[in-house]
Amino acid sequence: MNQYFDQITEPLLMQSYATLFFVSFILCLIIIVSSGYGFSRRGHIDEVAVQSAHSGFVPRVGGLAIYIAILVLIPLLSFGFIPLSVVFDLDAEELTLLILSAAPVFSVGLAEDLGYDISPKARLVASAVSSLVTILLFKVWLENLGIPGVDTLLMFAPFGILFTIFATVGVVNAFNLIDGLNGLSSYVIISVALSLSFIAFKAGDAHTSTFLVLMIAAVLGFMVLNFPMGKIFLGDGGAYTLGHLLVWSAIILMNSATEVCAFAILLIFFWPVADTGLAIWRRWKLGNPADRPDRLHFHQLAMRFLEIRFFGRDKREIANPLATLILIPLISVPQVLGVLFWDNFKASVWSSLLVAVIFVATYLIGIGMAKTGRAKNG
């Protein structure tokens, strides 16, 4: 742990953190100010969305600021302004390719954030294109999950590639679905990145470990304006892009360090994956399309509980960020288990099953409490 801390607090990295943080922060401030003059207001407004957890207009293009901040890494590394490639084995060309591979899904997500009517199918296709581009550039895909039979199929490249695209598209879209409370998506992204970075460090992949910590700095520049007051939101472009960079960082790590267990990685991504899986099951059971939004996500139930039991609906500015704080332990416990058992297959499998049972049980309890509270309030 001390060695990892020493690595991520090196002076050169601290300079890079500051650069990415302030680029992201300043761009977010510009977006917030310019939104008063109509920027990002075209088309639909999120305040009327079914799943909205806020009131009033808030710009949804925070992802634009973060992606630009991450793009700043390319000239910094390529032209030697910050020689991280020498100190931390950070390959400028490889990093550039990974960042640019997110361009298709970022562009489509940003268009949706700006009010253009982009169908869910088009967004899925864009996500699949970004994943296919990454596969072609890096020549990597999921090849070893530790599951007999499945691993044999994954060795057949066409099946392995199709399975990887399916899995990564699902994870990328899962990050979009959890973007519902002030600070929630930011915390999940930062905690996933930090967990993966530590595992990468333990597995000897300094490149992936360093990139993930740098990405955290860019997200923090956005988060200080998103939490607790919600002055700006991540938006589809940000959620898709960061989800893409995280899931592909994980796959690249698994290919460079084969001792990293797939189920440990699943634990790191547990919250967005479990919440999305539950949403798909819930909508299927009700006979609704999988892409139809609702107000039954875990984070929405947490906020509704606080409103019903303590604050009332006129105090959403309190209930919204407080719900995020309440959910942090539930998000973090699976990640801690993933970090502890990153190279222990059996322990990571049993941990995945345990947290899945706890997650579903807690969700069902939350549904019951929400119904009880709604009945008491007429």
For residue 313, the model assigns a pLDDT of: 73
Q: Write the DSSP assignment of 128-149 as a string of letters.
A: HHHHHHHHHHH-------S-TT
DSSP 250-265: HHHHHHH-TTS-HHHH
User: pLDDT tens digits, residue range 127-150?
Assistant: 999 999 999 999 999 998 989 899
Query: Which tokens in the block code for residue 58?
Result: 């808030």
Domain ranges of the chain: 2-376
Higher pLDDT, 53 or 243: 243
Residue 37 pLDDT > 90: no
* Contact in structure between 62 and 238 (CB atoms under 8 Å): yes
The pLDDT value recorded for residue 46 is: 47
State residue 51's pLDDT score. Answer: 45
Does position 81 have pLDDT exceeding 70, yes or no? no
Q: How confident is the model at residue 57 (pLDDT cuts 50, 70, 90)?
A: confident
State residue 47's pLDDT score.
Answer: 44
- Report how far residue 31's alpha carbon sits from residue 141's, in angstroms, rounded to the nearest whole number: 37
pLDDT of residue 305: 80
Q: Over the chain, what is the mean pLDDT?
A: 86
pLDDT-derived band at 39 (thresholds 50, 70, 90) equals low
Q: Dump pLDDT digits (tens) for 314-357.
A: 777 888 899 999 999 999 999 999 999 999 999 999 999 999 99
Residue type at 329 in one-letter notation: P
- Cβ neighbours, 10 Å, residue 204: 11
Tell me what the mean pLDDT of segment 31-36 comes to: 84
Q: Lowest-pLDDT range, 43-52, 143-152, 160-169, 260-269?
A: 43-52
- Distance between CA atoms of 208 and 252, rounded to whole angstroms? 8
Of 52-61, 81-90, 146-155, 292-301, least confident by mean pLDDT is: 81-90
Q: Is the pLDDT of residue 293 over 80?
A: no
Which of the four pLDDT bands, split at 50, 70 and 90, describes residue 45? very low
Residue 50, pLDDT above cutoff 50: no
Residues 85, 76 contacting (CB under 8 angstroms): no
Cα torsion for 304, 306, 307, 308, to the nearest 10°?
A: 80
User: In the structure encoding, which two tokens stand for residue 269, read together?
Assistant: 């991504």
Residue showing tokens 């322990």: 347
